[in-house]
Each structure stands twice: as structure tokens, then as C-alpha cells.
Structure 1
Amino acid sequence: MSKVLNMLGLATRARKVTNGEEITLDAIKQHQVQLVFLASDAGQSTKKRIENKCNSNNIPLVTEFTKTELSMATGALNRVVIGVTDSGFRKHMLELL
């Protein structure tokens, strides 16, 4: 597993992430999200909504990982959209990419 996914697992255990499309979109609207992970195999409507919201709010979007990889990193099933809410985790993850 990549170092970025390991960091995502640490952020999850530290409760510095949002899980799910609607929850992450709400957190983006409230300016709480620093970085978004979107599964590369997500549905087209989900991709479009998340990409548009991230672009309009200048939030980095990572689409390198599949649902399975994101789920394994966070220890939960079927993770498609994950938002990182901590700037320290965001900085370190972007450096690793």
C-alpha cells in the first residue's frame, strides 16, 4: 500500500476525514475540507459533482485510487469519496503524491 494511503488511514483514525459524497459536499460548502479523494472507479454523476465542487472551491482532488484501495486504507467498506479536514495531513499527503 502506498504511503499516501497509509497517511489516509492515520487521518481516519485521528478522525480528520469525512466519508461519503453528501457529507463531504456539505463539509466543502462549510470550508472544512482541505483535500478530497475520489475513487477512480466512481460513478459518472458522483465524479462530476465532486470535481465541480472541488474546482469551484480550489480544493485538490486525488483520483489515483480505486474504491477497494480507499476502503482498505480507511478500514471501512465501499468508500468512494473521502475528504481530509486537517491541513497538516493535506500537506503531507500532497508531498507524497
Structure 2
Amino acid sequence: MDKVISMIGLATKAGKTVSGEFSVEKAIQGNKAHAVIVSVEASDNTKKKFKNKCEYYKIPLFYYGTTQDLGKATGNKTRMSLAVVDEGFSKSIIKMLDNQVK
């Protein structure tokens, strides 16, 4: 398992993530989300919805991992989206994701 998924798992164990479309939207709109991760397997509509919300609320958005990867990290079978609601964890995850993109 890669470092990003491991870090998401740690954040989840610490209670610092929310997952599932409704919970992630609520975290974004409540200004609780510090980073949002959407599976690369998500539908174009789902990606567009989160892109628009994250742009509006100025929250970093990443398309990363399969639904199984995100599910495993959050203790579920599959997950399409998740939000990191802790600033420290989000900074670490964002740094890892930025490094992987480059």
C-alpha cells in the first residue's frame, strides 16, 4: 500500500476524515474540510460536483486512488470520496500528493 493511502488510514483511525458523498459535501460547506480526495474511478458528474464545490470554498481537491484504495484506507469496502478535516494530516497528504504528481 502506498504512503498516501497509509496516511489517509492513519487520519481515519484518528477520526480526522469523513467519507461518502453526503458527509464530504457537508464538511466542504461547513468549512471543515482541509483537503478533498475523489477516486479516479468517480463519474464525471461526481468529479465536476466536487471540483465546483472545492473551487468555491477554496479547498484543495485531488483525484487519487481507486474506490477500493480509498475504501481500504477508511475501513470500508469502497469509497468514492473523502475529506480530511484535520489541518496537520491534510498538509502531510497534500505534500505527498503534490510530490507524486510532479
TM-score normalised per structure 1:
0.94
Please list every run of 5 or more consecutive structure 2 residues that lacks an aligned counterpart in the other structure. 98-102
Gaps of 5+ in 1: none
- 2:25 aligned partner: 25
Q: TM-score, normalised by structure 2?
A: 0.89
Alpha-carbon distance in structure 2 between the residues aligned to 1:45 and 1:78: 18
Query: Aligned to 1:89, what secondary structure does the other structure show?
Result: helix
Structure 1 runs (4+) deviating above 2 angstroms are none
Deviations 1:1-42 (A, max 9, x none): 111110100011111111111111111111000000100001
Aligned-residue offset at 1:95: 1.6
- AA matched with 1:25: E
Q: Which residue does the alignment assign to 2:41?
A: 41
* Number of aligned positions between the proteins: 97
Whole-Å separation in 2 of the counterparts to 1:34 and 1:58: 9
Give the partner amino acid of 2:53: K
Q: Find the counterpart in structure 2 of residue 13 from structure 1.
A: 13
Whether 1:60 aligns to 2:60 is yes
| Identity over aligned pairs, percent | 38
